[in-house]
């Protein structure tokens, strides 16, 4: 049954290491051999007064030699390593036999998960025949479904005197194990995340920091180069844009002046167009007078004429003033002719006095003045106009 109360531990380091191992098969074999950092592992097991050495690489186990736990054995080990290049790069681990260690599964409160080693050290004598001064021990949380309130832990321990004696012999033979485990619960060599170590921290082999420093410097240099490759083009582009902006500033000033002048020109053009439109919206006075003299017969006299705002007002005498309305509207130049005062008759001349106003419209081509600037055949009447 699914336990919804269980917590999910997300370890990014474990995830990426697993992902790297899963993707290894995509790399061609020859390239994998070049870049492979798997140096192999030398496993040292105690057998009485001897150490049994095996070499493990990619899951393949190769027995090397059995050496006496003496200075002679140390010399033999040194010669063996110097004669084999792969052994020079290999890690070394010491694996206790079943006679030298004990393992026991115990249950602890879930709250102890964050500090397993300290919790077990407080009650080591309860779980084993040893106290913390008598034994070296390690704890390893077991995988699988646990009770929400408890966790399953494997306790591995060995007698302090036994491991100290082995360690002295290892040191004498110039062997420096990276960790010590127990053959009843051996560490998985390929899984760096699940290793436990029975060797106390004070006795652990401390590799030189020089390679780590070199790799860190190289990695930092590579990162700086990568940043430079990305940043330098951007910097050059920025400088180019800035230079163009500096060149554009005076051009923008000139463009603003030109734009202001263009606006003034456009304004003048608009005003001129309006004036031309207004001028073209009404007929020219010369054309209007020429048309008027053409339309009015010789028996009609004009004593007054005024033109303003598209309206022409005329006064005079005619034998038949009522006929003038139709005569004026017959022209394309005049529209909406009408009397603005009653028609009266002069007692002396017996002619009708009239006062007419008429609206003007744009002239046609036929209503233009003669090329010589003179009026039509009735132009002789102009002397009678005011």
First to last CA, the chain: 122
Burial degree of 47 (CB within 10 A; 0-12, 13-18, 19+): exposed
Average predicted confidence (pLDDT) for the chain: 79
User: Bigger pLDDT: 227 or 146?
Assistant: 227
What is the pLDDT confidence band of residue 222, given thresholds at 50, 70 and 90?
A: confident
Question: pLDDT at residue 167 above 70?
Answer: yes
Q: How many CB atoms lie within 10 A of CB 384?
A: 13
User: Bigger pLDDT: 34 or 137?
Assistant: 137
pTM of the predicted protein model: 0.50
User: Bigger pLDDT: 155 or 31?
Assistant: 155
Question: pLDDT at residue 94 above 50?
Answer: yes
What was the pLDDT predicted at 68? Answer: 92
Tell me the pLDDT tens digit for each residue of 275-330: 877 666 666 778 888 888 888 888 888 888 888 877 888 988 888 888 888 888 88
CA distances from 149 to 5, 107, 108, 109, 113 (A): 10, 10, 9, 6, 11
Bridge partners for 41 per DSSP: 56, 91
What is the pLDDT confidence band of residue 207, given thresholds at 50, 70 and 90?
A: low
Q: Work out whether strand 50-57 and strand 41-47 pair parallel, antiparallel, or are unpaired.
A: antiparallel
**Contact status, residue 380 vs residue 290, Cβ threshold 8 Å:** no
Question: pLDDT at residue 366 above 50?
Answer: no
Domain ranges (residues) in the chain: 37-207, 209-279, 285-384
User: Bigger pLDDT: 110 or 236?
Assistant: 236
The Cα–Cα gap between 355 and 6 comes to: 114
Average pLDDT (83-96) is 88
Give the rounded percent of residues in the chain with a pLDDT score beyond 90: 14
User: Bigger pLDDT: 193 or 361?
Assistant: 361
Question: Does the domain made of 37-207 have the CATH classification 3.30.365.10?
Answer: no
Tell me the pLDDT tens digit for each residue of 187-200: 887 766 678 888 88
In CATH, the number for domain 285-384 is 3.30.1360
Question: pLDDT at residue 375 above 60?
Answer: no
Q: How many CB atoms lie within 10 A of CB 96?
A: 24
Question: pLDDT at residue 346 above 90?
Answer: no
Scan for tokens 């009843």, then name that residue. Answer: 184
Question: pLDDT at residue 368 above 80?
Answer: no
Question: pLDDT at residue 46 above 90?
Answer: yes
What was the pLDDT predicted at 373? Answer: 40
What was the pLDDT predicted at 381? Answer: 37
**Contact status, residue 93 vs residue 188, Cβ threshold 8 Å:** no
Question: pLDDT at residue 53 above 50?
Answer: yes
Q: Work out whether strand 41-47 and strand 91-96 pair parallel, antiparallel, or are unpaired.
A: parallel
Which of 185, 164, 168, 180 is CA-nearest to residue 102?
Answer: 185
């Amino acid at each position: 049954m699914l336990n919804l109360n269980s917590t999910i531990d997300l370890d990014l380091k474990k995830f990426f290491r697993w992902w790297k191992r899963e993707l290894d098969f995509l790399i061609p074999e020859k390239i994998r051999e070049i870049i492979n950092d798997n140096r192999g592992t030398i496993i040292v097991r105690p057998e009485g007064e001897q150490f049994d050495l095996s070499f493990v690489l990619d899951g393949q186990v190769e027995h090397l030699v059995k050496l006496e736990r003496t200075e002679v054995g140390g010399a033999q080990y040194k010669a063996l390593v110097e004669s084999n290049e792969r052994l020079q790069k290999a890690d070394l681990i010491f694996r206790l036999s079943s006679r030298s260690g004990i393992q026991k599964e115990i249950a602890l409160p879930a709250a102890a998960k964050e500090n397993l080693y300290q919790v077990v050290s407080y009650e080591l004598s309860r779980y084993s025949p040893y106290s913390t001064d008598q034994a070296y021990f390690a704890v390893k949380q077991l995988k699988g479904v646990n009770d929400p309130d408890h966790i399953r832990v494997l306790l591995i321990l060995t007698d302090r005197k036994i491991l100290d004696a082995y360690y002295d012999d290892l040191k004498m033979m110039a062997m420096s194990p990276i960790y010590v485990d127990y053959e009843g619960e051996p560490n998985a060599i390929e899984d760096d995340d699940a290793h436990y170590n029975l060797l106390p921290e004070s006795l652990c082999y401390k590799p030189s920091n020089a390679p780590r420093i070199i790799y860190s410097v190289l990695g930092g240099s590579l990162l700086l180069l990568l940043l430079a490759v990305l940043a330098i083009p951007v910097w050059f582009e920025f400088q180019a844009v800035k230079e163009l902006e500096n060149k554009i500033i005076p051009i923008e000033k000139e463009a603003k002046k030109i734009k202001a002048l263009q606006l003034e020109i456009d304004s003048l053009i608009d005003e001129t167009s309006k004036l031309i439109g207004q001028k073209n919206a009404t007929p020219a006075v010369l054309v209007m007078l020429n048309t008027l003299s053409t339309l009015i017969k010789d028996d009609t006299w004009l004593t007054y004429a005024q033109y303003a705002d598209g309206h022409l007002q005329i006064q005079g005498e005619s034998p038949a003033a009522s006929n003038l309305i139709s005569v004026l509207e017959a022209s394309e130049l005049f529209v909406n002719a009408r009397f603005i005062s009653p028609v009266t008759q002069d007692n002396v001349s017996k002619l009708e006095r009239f006062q007419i106003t008429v609206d003007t419209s744009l002239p046609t081509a036929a209503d233009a003045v003669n090329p010589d600037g003179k009026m039509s055949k009735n132009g002789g009447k102009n002397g009678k106009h005011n």
